[in-house]
Structure formats: C-alpha cells, structure tokens
C-alpha cells in the first residue's frame, strides 16, 4: 500500500508541473511562446500518461493490501482509472488526443468565420474515435454510458432521460410564467470601469474569507479553476466593462471550485481519492456558491453597503431590485450567459444531440440543422448565426462527450445539498451576516473531507439522506421565483 501511494504521489508531482504550465499558458505566457509550450506540455503529458498505464502500477494495485476505508477507496478508484486507460489501445488514445487537439483549433476558426464545414471533416473523425473508445471502455446498453462515466461515474443515459424530460417541461413553464409578468429592468445594464470592478472582486474574495496564502485570482478569457498542487489553487475571472455581473459571478463560481479543492484532506493529496467526487459534484459546489448563495437575497443584503459604496451610481436601487437584477430569467442563445432557470434547456439540447450522435441516430453533417430545430422548439428563437448555435462551445470539438450533463447535474445536486443543509444551519441569517464559516464547515464535513471516496450518487445519499432526485431543484426554483414575482408554479 505504501509503495502504491508513493507511486501516485510521484505521478502527482509531474502532473502538477503540467498544470502550472497550462495555467501560465492561459494567463501570462507571451503569445509567441505557444508552439514550444505545446511541445513541452505534450512531452510531460505523455510521460504522465505512460506512468498511469505502466505495468508497474498494475502490479502495485494488484498487490496492495488496504487496511483502512480510505485505502480501500484508493485502490478501488485507482484500479478503475487504470483499467479505463489500459482497456483503450494506446494508439487509439493518442490518435484521439491528436485529432481532437487539431479539431478544437479548427473550431476556433470555424466559429470566427461562421463556417461549420471548416471543422466538419476532423469533427467526424473525433466522433468516430470516441465511438471506438466507448467500445473498448465497455457498456451494458448504451455506448454513451461509457463516455458519460468518465465524467460522472455511475450515471447512465437512461437516468438522464428520466430526470431531464420533466425538467424540460418545468423550465419552459417557469420561463413563460415569468415572462407573463412583463419585462424587468436590469440595473446592471451599464458600463462600469474595470478598475472599480476589480476592486470590488478583490473585496468580495476577502468577504467570502478566501485564503490568499493558498489561492490567487488572475484574469483570463474564459474563467477557470486550476488546482496546481498542495495548498495552491489558481482561479481566474474576466472583466467586461458593460457587464459587471459577469466578473462578480465568475469570481464566486471559481471561488466555489477552489473551496472544494482546498478543503480535501491533505493526507489524500496526490492519491486517487484526493480530488472532488466527480465533475458534477465539483460543479455543484461552484453553483452552490455562485447561485444558491451568491444570488440569494440575504447575500445581497449583506454586501449591499459595500456594493453601492464601490458603485455609487447603483445606490438609487433598493437591494431587492439588485437581487432581481442578478436573477433575471430570459431566453438566450449562449449557454455560459444563461440564468439558473433556462440553463437546464441549454444542457438538455446538447445532451439530446450528443446522445443521438454517439448512438448513430444523428450524423455530424446534420448537427447545425438539428441544433437550430431543437433550439427553436425549446427557446422559441431562430438561430441566424451559427456562432450562436452549434459552434458556441469547445467541448464536442475537443472530444468531450458526456461532459455537458455534469453542468446540469451540478445545479441539481446543489439544490438537493442546500435542502439538507437548511435543516442543520440557519442559512439566511448566517449569509446575511457574512458568517460563511458555518456554511463552509458543513460542506467540508459532509462533502469536501470525503474527496473522491464515494461515487457521486452514494456521496449525495450520505450527505442528504436521500436518493438523487430533481424535485429539490424544482422546489428551489419554485420557491425562489414565486417569492420574486407574483406567479404560481
């Protein structure tokens, strides 16, 4: 067991170096360094990959004798990861990496030039290679399950269908009810100097009690969180002059991811259980801090004084109007700009298409039309520009199928976790007073301290004493928006 752990900890040091190179590439690297940096990353990446499928690791896993629950989990999770990559022939794996890297670069060009044909031939190959991978990874009924399991262990397409179908109806109903009230003015539709936005975001992190000895905030085009190593998590945000909400909620979102990463026990570090439970669980925490907490009325009451002091133009709005402003529900084209209600529709659309694609029910060349058709059905809007349609996200072109559902699962888990938390802590009072320690303590005790010991559904059951159910999200949305508007759901 000790030798196995040493092996994993050594591997973690190489992958941490890799993560630092990535972070630098997306933040401070001078542009001309890109090509050589890609070579360095691919060299070290290849080395780490070979370590992760070596016969030596296979032997260590086979001979390990776990004595604790944690070590049993390390061997179980480690073995699953090992088999996953060992089952796929390495030339297929490398081919997929190579083709999807080129495809993702072509996607940028295709999006800019609004021309799907630029990316189509490579994208066809990416889809084929992923179908091939699904065969090697193995599944019972649905090849999509093999791909989904890489991001959300234990989740199946059948369950997604069962959950997403009623959620789709519910979301459309909420949207129509809210629209029936009439247009809501958005106090945030104004230009605000990036400098004062920056000042406010720095303050916000301090207010949330972020640990600046273990975390830093920088700027990037697409906000992200990168856990670089022990006691080192990097987060980024972005500043858009005429969209001050963008930076505020990007910062809180990434702060949520960082909290999770920094609260996993130090003794798990570098081991298979030393990360979050799944992509969906990780997202449940960013969404919890961003939406459940950050878009709540108590939170806005707590930050109101500082907010209007930093942005004096906003002082004419009472706190309820700012709260409404950060929760505006509207039909939109772009997923990353969607509110917490209509976000579900954006994911369901992607899920239905990628599910059909992997099951040979949809071909790559038909994606643009299929997207536009389904988008109009769900949102009632026509797509006139493909960069607002199927070319908006990088995930598919980079070879990630089964990733999108984890975003929505994150929203659903967050609501179920919130329901359980409210039974133990006086959430509204604590949040209004800016006393986040008890909220964080509860999450650490129930979730963060467990790392990746349990699969998402089991962890959710342990945290909430209930099976995974979308009714908590439906209740959360109903309660929040019937309090905000004179509507019935």
**In the complex, which residues of this chain contact Co ion (CB under 5 A)?**
286
- 257 vs 355, beta carbon nearer Co ion: 257
CA 410 to chain centre: 7
Tracing tokens 């092996």 back to the chain, one arrives at: 7
- 258 vs 431, beta carbon nearer Co ion: 258
CB of 447 to Co ion, least distance (A): 16
How far apart are the C-alpha atoms of 390 and 372, rounded to whole Å? 8
Q: To 10 degrees, the CA torsion angle through 337, 414, 400, 330?
A: -20
DSSP states of 305-366: HHHHHHSGGGGGS-HHHHHHHTT-----S-GGG--TTTHHHHHHHHHHHHHHHHTTSS-GGG
Residues contacting residue 46 through CB under 8 Å, at least 6 positions apart: none
CA angle 189, 195, 201 (to 5 degrees): 75
Residues contacting residue 81 through CB under 8 Å, at least 6 positions apart: 52, 272
Question: How many Cα atoms sit within 13 Å of 159 on the Cβ side?
Answer: 16
- 131 vs 234, beta carbon nearer Co ion: 234
Q: Please give the residue whose beta carbon sits closest to Co ion in the complex.
A: 286
- 74 vs 286, beta carbon nearer Co ion: 286
CB of 283 to Co ion, least distance (A): 5
CB of 49 to Co ion, least distance (A): 25
- 210 vs 304, beta carbon nearer Co ion: 210
CB of 297 to Co ion, least distance (A): 24
- 286 vs 327, beta carbon nearer Co ion: 286
Residues contacting residue 68 through CB under 8 Å, at least 6 positions apart: none
- 260 vs 481, beta carbon nearer Co ion: 260
CB of 252 to Co ion, least distance (A): 11
CB of 226 to Co ion, least distance (A): 12
Q: Which residues pair with 218 in a beta bridge?
A: 236
- 131 vs 253, beta carbon nearer Co ion: 253
H/E run at residue 219:
strand 215-219
124 in catalytic set? no
Strand (E) positions, 94-214?
none
- 236 vs 286, beta carbon nearer Co ion: 286
CB of 256 to Co ion, least distance (A): 8
Angle between helices 456-464 and 404-424 (to 10 degrees): 20
**From 96, 104, 152, 254, the catalytic residue:** 254
Start-to-end Cα distance in the chain: 54
Output the CA–CA distances (angstroms, integers) from residue 397 to 122, 129, 362, 372, 405, in the order listed: 8, 12, 16, 18, 16
CB of 290 to Co ion, least distance (A): 8
Residues contacting residue 300 through CB under 8 Å, at least 6 positions apart: 307, 319, 322, 323, 326
Residues contacting residue 235 through CB under 8 Å, at least 6 positions apart: 215, 216, 217, 218, 223, 224, 225, 226, 251, 254, 255, 257, 258
How far apart are the C-alpha atoms of 239 and 246, rounded to whole Å? 7
CB of 338 to Co ion, least distance (A): 14
Q: Token digits for 383?
A: 């797509």
Residues contacting residue 384 through CB under 8 Å, at least 6 positions apart: none
Q: List the catalytic residues.
A: 254
């Amino acid at each position: 067991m000790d030798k196995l752990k040493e092996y994993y900890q050594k591997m973690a040091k190489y992958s941490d170096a890799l993560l630092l190179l990535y972070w630098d590439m997306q933040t401070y690297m001078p542009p001309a360094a890109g090509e050589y940096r890609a070579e360095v990353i691919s060299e070290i990446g290849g080395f780490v990959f070979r370590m992760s499928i070596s016969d030596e690791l296979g032997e260590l896993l086979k001979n390990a004798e776990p004595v604790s629950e944690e070590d049993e989990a390390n061997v179980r999770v480690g073995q699953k990861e090992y088999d996953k990559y060992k089952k796929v022939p390495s030339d297929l794996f490398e081919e997929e990496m190579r083709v999807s890297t080129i495809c993702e670069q072509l996607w940028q060009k295709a999006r800019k030039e609004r021309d799907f044909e630029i990316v189509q031939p490579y994208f066809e190959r990416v889809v084929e290679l992923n179908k091939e991978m699904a065969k090697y990874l193995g599944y019972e009924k649905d090849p999509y399950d093999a791909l989904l399991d890489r991001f959300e262990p234990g989740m199946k397409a059948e369950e997604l269908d069962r959950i997403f179908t009623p959620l789709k109806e519910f979301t459309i109903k909420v949207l129509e009810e809210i629209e029936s009230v009439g247009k809501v003015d958005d106090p945030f539709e104004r230009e605000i100097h990036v400098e004062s936005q920056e000042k406010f975001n720095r303050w916000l992190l301090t207010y949330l009690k972020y640990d600046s000895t273990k975390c830093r905030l920088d700027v990037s085009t697409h906000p992200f969180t990168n856990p670089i190593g022990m006691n080192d998590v990097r987060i980024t945000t972005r500043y858009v002059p005429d969209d001050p909400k963008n930076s505020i909620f990007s910062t809180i979102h990434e702060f949520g991811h960082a909290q999770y990463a920094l609260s996993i026990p130090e003794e798990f570090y570098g081991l298979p259980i030393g990360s979050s439970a799944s992509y969906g669980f990780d997202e449940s925490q960013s969404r919890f801090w961003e939406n459940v907490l950050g878009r709540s009325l108590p939170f806005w009451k707590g930050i109101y004084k500082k907010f209007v002091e930093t942005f004096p133009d906003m002082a004419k709005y009472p706190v309820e109007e700012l709260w409404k402003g950060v929760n505006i529900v509207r039909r939109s084209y772009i997923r990353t700009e969607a509110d917490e209600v209509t976000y579900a529709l954006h994911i369901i659309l992607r899920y239905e298409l990628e599910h059909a694609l992997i099951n040979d029910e949809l071909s790559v060349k038909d994606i643009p039309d299929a997207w536009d058709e389904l988008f109009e059905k769900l949102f009632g809007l026509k797509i006139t520009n493909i960069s607002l349609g199927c070319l908006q996200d990088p995930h598919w072109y980079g070879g990630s199928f089964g990733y999108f559902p984890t975003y929505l699962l994150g929203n659903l888990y967050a609501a179920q976790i919130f329901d359980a938390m409210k039974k133990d802590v006086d959430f509204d009072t604590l949040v209004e007073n800016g006393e986040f320690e008890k909220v964080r303590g509860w999450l650490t005790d129930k979730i963060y301290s467990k790392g990746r010991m349990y699969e998402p559904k089991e962890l959710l059951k342990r945290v909430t004493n209930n099976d995974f159910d979308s009714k908590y999200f439906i209740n959360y949305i109903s309660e929040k928006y019937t309090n905000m508007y004179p509507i019935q759901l």
